[in-house]
Amino acid sequence: MSDTTTTSETHDKILDGITVLDLSTFVTGGFSSGMLANLGAEVIKIEQPGYGDAIRHSGPPFIQGESPYYWTVNYGKRSLELDLKNDRAKEALYELAAEADIFIQNYRPGTAERLDVDYEAIREHNEEIIYLAISAFGQTGPWAERSGYDLLIQGMSGIMSVTGEEGRQPVKVGLPMTDLITAMWAAFGATAALYRREFTGEGECIDLGMLEAALPWLTKQAGMTFAGEDTGRMGTKDPVLAPYQTFETSDGYINICILNEKLWKELCVAIDRSDLPADDRFEMNADRVENQDALEAEIEKTLAQRTTEEWIEIIAEEAGVPAGPVYEVDEALNNPQIDARGTLSELEHPELGAIPVIEHPLKFAHADSGFELAPPLLGEHNREVFADLGYSTEEIDELQARGVFGEQG
């Protein structure tokens, strides 16, 4: 198995020496293996010959035939085409699995068994493997064999019931939120299993369902339900804090977050509305929650007098009250804070030159992190992966001739 020893003196990456085989498509497995790659794991992306991961074709937009959406999930990996209906390709996969640490798939339950890549099949070749089986509803239960995607899970997890405006239809979070939630649980589970393996020498099989992955994130709304209270759509308002929402300014929007009475009074002083705390409707947080519509009208009447930038200077910079603008995506990716932290960088793409990369946020004092490889071309590393496994040029030629990499090799 791979050596997981790291030393802070050399600032190795935490997952240096860990090898991941990722057979997944789209986001749940792909983002999780990307998280592992960022921490130093070698991720080999196993793809369908000639077509690859379906996320490669997710768009528009495309840049010279490449999907930027695909980039964001697949930085730092190597691509290997394997035709898993080809017996020699399956043997080759088993050889790779024998040397790997983590195996990821997000097939619908039953598919891995049909392809002979289920946990028991892979474990025969590597008893210490950490095997991640990701699906919409998990491997058991009455819905296990259903297919499912982010939109379905957002609806079934309750997220859409509390997203959007009161009295209007449920709203999907604009990001593939439950895909990403599941991906983060997957990476967390895999690293936890690696940690346990260091002490026990035992591998692990992790059954991860998207629906269950989303439920712990309900937090506040779950707490309300446990207390017998109703939940619902409130726009940007909060069910237990006020003001804690988006307000309109003269030229845009601003988010203001008031969590206690001290901040409430400081906000009122900053916006020259010291009359508001003296109003019985707005004196304490519970009062403000009960009268949110009236509170919103009073605050927006004042905020409409200046621009968002002016209010940020007054409220956030001068008064120190939590407030921030509502950025467009390009503004979120390009601003002084993000620039100072080095969050957006570049990697050299084999065909397109420098492409943007969003770095992951973990910054360790005694270990390195960060992506080193651009998102791979389909099959870019077909020969390289097997050369690293000890195959000679002639043996790799034979794999190609036998259709292991598909017809185009």
What is the CA angle 22-23-25, rounded to 5? 105
Q: For residue 266, give the H/E element and its range.
A: helix 261-270
Handedness of CA 389, 392, 397, 399 (dihedral sign): negative
Q: How long, in residues, is the chain?
A: 409
> Which tokens go with 296?
């919103």
> Which tokens go with 337?
């804070």
- Angstrom distance (rounded) from CA 15 to CA 36: 7
Q: Edge to edge, what strands does the sheet with 19-22 contain?
A: 77-81, 42-47, 19-22, 102-105, 130-135, 204-209
> Which tokens go with 104?
């990821």
- Angstrom distance (rounded) from CA 378 to CA 37: 18
Active site (annotated) includes residue 179:
yes
Which pairing describes strands 77-81 and 130-135: parallel, antiparallel, or unpaired?
Answer: unpaired
Helix, coil or strand: residue 253: strand
User: What is the DSSP code string of 63-125?
Assistant: BTTB-HHHHHHHTTEEEEE--TTSHHHHHHHHHHHHT-SEEEE-PPTTHHHHTT-SHHHHHTT
> Which tokens go with 405?
């990499």
Contact 353, 326 (CB under 8 A): no
φ, ψ for residue 130, nearest 5 deg? -95, 110
User: What is the DSSP code string of 182-229?
Assistant: HHHHHHHHHHHHHHHHHHH---EEEEEEHHHHHGGGGHHHHHHHHTT-
- Other CB atoms within 10 A of residue 185 CB: 23
- Angstrom distance (rounded) from CA 66 to CA 378: 11
User: Among residues 101, 179, 230, 287, which one is catalytic?
Assistant: 179
Q: Which of 330, 327, 304, 308 is nearest to 317 (CA)?
A: 308
Helix, coil or strand: residue 347: strand
- Angstrom distance (rounded) from CA 9 to CA 191: 22
State the catalytic residues: 179
